[in-house]
Amino acid sequence: MSETPDLDLLAAEYVLGTLDGDEAAEAARLLATDTAFAAAVRGWEQRLAPLAAVVPPVPPPPGLWDRIAASTTAPTATPAPALTEAITATASAASASTMSASITSAASRSATTVGSATTATSAATSPAAAMTRPTTAVVVPLALRRRLRIWQASTAAALAIAASLAAFIVLRSPPPLDVAVLTPRTGEGPVLLATAEPNGALSVRPNGTIAVPNDRDLELWALAAGETRPRSLGVLPAAGGRLVVASLAPGTQLMVSLEPRGGSPTGQPTGPVLYAGQLAAVD
Amino acid sequence: MQTDPPPSALSPGADDTATLLQLCAGGDRTAFRALYDRWGARLHGIALRITQQTTLAADATHDAFLQVWREAHRFDPARGSAEAFLVSLARYRALDIVRRRAREVQGYEGDDRADETPDALTQLLGNAEGAALHRCLATLDAERRRLMVLAFVDGLSHSELAEKLRVPLGTVKSWIRRSLLSLRACLAANVELPQ
């Protein structure tokens, strides 16, 4: 573009929703990094929102509330959500177990590359136990986390493990999983492995210890392909966690930023992005 | 660990949207349900208009309410209206979905739905902000006004608008920018925006 960029106009076009490709990406970047731009966006939201009144209301399909209620029943759906070990809701329980089972199976094979076959195999029984539990407030112990701890390995080795894990998941049909390896922006330190199920369950685990200052929290963000602003998925414990989110499409960029305690006050990343990676479909 | 939801602090009279949002921020599920009852059809209508498909619209409405629940604490009545907060979320989520699909199917298939009539725009007159916007939209010529409505309400991008109106992309961009500038000037003269 040859003309002088007018940030307020860019904000207006962003709110209007007309930006294509590169411009949309630029607006998303500014929204995440520039508080003046974010304020301009808010201003335009206020100006233009009344125009939505021309659209007649249409009752949502029956059952949508139940879906929303189920999606928000997870403990992570609180205002400053922290990812936790627990996954609630009847619907999620079975598929969570299934996912756990796939991971375990994949792990039992790929673990041979790091010599932990015994541990991985012995853990393979736990998902079956989880599946027979009552379906209210099931806590998934996530043996994956322990296994990942075992995989304390260099970044390169972790990437190789993640790749072989992905390769094994490819061979197992249901449920299709999306995986992402979030690598450190600095190139050093542990990596995070993210696995997403079609029902919106997302697990994010580091393969090492992430040092987070006392007055800070890690926050997880999703930027879908074609989406123009990252969406907060919640505060991420340094040890990783599991949460239920709206389903994430392959190609979604996952990012972890360093934020003030409790998460970004603005709704957009305010601190440096420490980790990033893209979800890829492996079904 | 999930515990029982806290009892609702929603009093019978406390049903205005800003209050509901603030209660949602405190984890009040009764308020969340009340917000859905009150706004579900409006937001779904907005999403349906943009996505043009019931299933996609339901996904967008679902995602929007999920985000409302998760980010209600980010709503600040001192900085804007609750309506703008909700409408914006619904539009962004619906736009996310159609932009993703647009890439999959390569290109927007414009429909020939009747354009917004001046009658429809009178819907804006329900409150002060809407009335100001209505007044300012009236200062644009008819084609520019139609462009703004197509963009905002139908969620068409610059290139989709250019295709639909059969005008060069650069022309569409420049029309939109000029319209936005004149709206900004007109609104600034008319109302004090909350900031």
**What is this structure's pTM?**
0.55
Beta carbons of A59 and B71 less than 8 Å apart: no
- The alpha-carbon gap from B62 to the nearest alpha carbon of chain A, in Å, equals 6
The two tokens of residue B102 are: 């647009």
Could B81 and A79 be called an inter-chain contact, meaning their C-beta atoms sit closer than 8 Å?
no
- How large is the average pLDDT for residues B104-128? 62
Q: Of the candidates B63, B166, B109, B188, which has an alpha carbon nearest to the alpha carbon of residue A12?
A: B188
Residue contact A46–B84, C-beta within 8 A: yes
More confident residue, A98 or A62: A62
Q: Hey, what are B4's tokens?
A: 């029982």
Q: Flag if B133 and A48 touch (Cβ within 8 Å).
A: yes
Mean pLDDT of A188-202: 79
What's the Cα-to-Cα distance from A212 to each of A83, A116, A187, A238, B133, rounded to whole Å?
16, 28, 17, 7, 47
Nearest CA in chain B to A74: B2
Assess contact for A246 and A217: CB atoms under 8 A.
Answer: no
Task: Say which residues have a Cβ less than 8 Å from residue B87's Cβ, sequence separation at least 6.
Answer: A45, A49, A52, B42, B43, B46
Report the alpha-carbon distance of residue B148 to residue B176 in Å, rounded: 7
| pLDDT of A179 over the 90 cut | no
Strands A201-206 and A253-260: unpaired
| One-character DSSP codes across A68-90 | HHHHTTSGGGSSS-B-BSB--SH
Residue B122: CB atoms within 10 A of its CB come to 14
- Interchain contact B79–A (C-beta under 8 A): yes
Chain B residues within an 8 Å CB radius of A17: 91-92, 95, 151-152, 155-157
Residue numbers in A near B29 (CB within 8 A):
69, 72
Q: How far is A107 from chain B (nearest CA, A)?
A: 27
Q: How far apart are CA B86 and CA A268, in angstroms?
A: 17
Cross-chain Cβ contact B157/A18 below 8 Å = yes
Higher pLDDT, A29 or A132: A29
Contact A9 B54 (CB under 8 A): no
pLDDT score at A246: 66
- Cβ contacts of A56 on chain B, cutoff 8 Å: 45
Does the distance separating the beta carbons of B40 and A52 come in below 8 Å?
no
pLDDT digits (tens, 9 = 90+) for A67-97: 999 988 854 433 333 343 333 333 333 343 3
Poorest-confidence range of A205-209, A243-247, A253-257? Answer: A243-247
Highest-confidence range of A166-175, B55-64, B104-113, by mean pLDDT?
A: B55-64
For B95, the enclosing helix (H) or strand (E) is helix B82-105
Mean pLDDT of chain B: 83
Distance CA B153, CA A269 (A): 28
Q: Do residue B80 and residue A46 have CB atoms under 8 angstroms apart?
A: yes
Instruction: Give the separation between CA A109 and CA A167, rounded to whole angstroms.
Output: 11
CB contact under 8 A, A9 and B159: no
pLDDT at B21: 94
Q: What is the pLDDT of residue A137?
A: 37
CA B160 to CA B139: how far, in whole Å? Answer: 25
Closest CA to A174 of A237, A71, A102: A102
pLDDT of A9: 94
How many DSSP H helices and E strands does chain A contain? 9, 9
Out of B84, B120, B176, the one facing A13 most closely (by C-beta) is: B176
Per the structure block, which two tokens stand in for A228?
């123009």
Residue B1 and residue A17: Cβ atoms within 8 Å?
Answer: no
Q: B164 — contact with chain A (CB < 8 Å)?
A: no
- DSSP states along A122-152: HGGGHHHHHHTS-SSSPBP--HHHHHHHHT-
Rounded CA separation B65/A71 (Å): 10
Query: Which of B43 and A73 is assigned the larger pLDDT?
Result: B43
| Whether B44 contacts chain A with CB within 8 A | yes
Query: Residue B44's pLDDT band (boundaries 50, 70, 90)?
Result: very high
Q: Is the dihedral of CA B179, B184, B190, B193 positive or negative?
A: positive
For residue B115 the two structure tokens come to: 């354009």
Would you state the pLDDT for residue A206? 85
Summarised one tens digit per residue, pLDDT across range B123-162 is 888 888 889 999 999 999 998 998 999 899 999 999 889 9
Q: Do residues B15 and B34 make contact, with C-beta atoms less than 8 angstroms apart?
A: yes
Candidate from A137-141, A178-182, A203-207, B116-120 with smallest mean pLDDT: A137-141
Measure the CA–CA gap between A65 and B35, rounded to whole angstroms: 11
Q: Which of residues 99-138 of B touch A (CB under 8 A)?
A: 99-100, 102-103, 116, 120-121, 123-124, 126-127, 129-130, 133-134, 137
* DSSP annotation string for A152-207: ---HHHHHHHHHHHHHHHHHS-SSP-EEEEEEETTS-S--EEEEE-TTSEEEEEES
* Structural contact between residues A206 and A192, judged by C-beta atoms closer than 8 angstroms: yes
Q: What is the 3-state secondary structure (H, E, C) of B27-39?
A: CCHHHHHHHHHHH
Q: What whole-number percentage of chain B has pLDDT above 70?
A: 80
